[in-house]
Amino acid sequence: MKIKLLNERVISLKDVLDILEKQKSGTEWAKKTNTWATDLAREFDRINGGVWLRGLLSEESFWQIILPEHNHMKKVAPFLIPDGTVVAEALSFYSGRKNTTDSECVNLIEYLEEQIRKNGFTDDIVLGVKNEKLYHIDGLHRSIALASLINDGMPFNAIPVCLANGSPD
């Protein structure tokens, strides 16, 4: 599967890892998940022959990003997204938890919604292609925050991504 990005350019795994490192200072959650994201980026680098692209992702592709299982608050107000859920479907899981005040995950998404409202979608999400499908590597909470805002009427603007996608055209 070839995903065509707007303004795409070739970058390296080192560039992607540098971007992930800079983003880890954004929130406590980013610090907790950075190792997981960098390990996954390395795996997608291997799968895609070391070719990374950086550019802007279309809305059509955004809604098709496949997310991993997500349930980091098992003890308090679980926010569960089953493995293989696309962004379009994840919105319903989030909407069902939105009024929960004791969920770290919901609070983070609400914080990110406010940041996107104020500043736009400024940080790259990191994605990879495997078995002809587009997979999340980093940016799950930001993606759900953006999906929620779009659902509430905010217009979509192409979003910055780093993408492990085989060889460029």
> In this predicted model, what pLDDT tens digit does every residue of 50-91 receive, in sequence order?
999 999 999 999 999 999 877 654 554 455 688 889 999 988
Q: Does residue 131 sit within a domain?
A: yes
Q: Does residue 14 sit within a domain?
A: yes
- Print the domain residue range for 77: 6-164
* pTM confidence score: 0.87
Q: Does residue 169 sit within a domain?
A: no
Domain count, the chain: 1
Q: Does residue 62 sit within a domain?
A: yes
Is 149:77 a contact under the CB 8 Å cutoff?
no
Residue-wise pLDDT for 87-109, tens only, equals 999 888 777 666 655 567 778 88
Handedness of CA 34, 43, 137, 13 (dihedral sign): positive
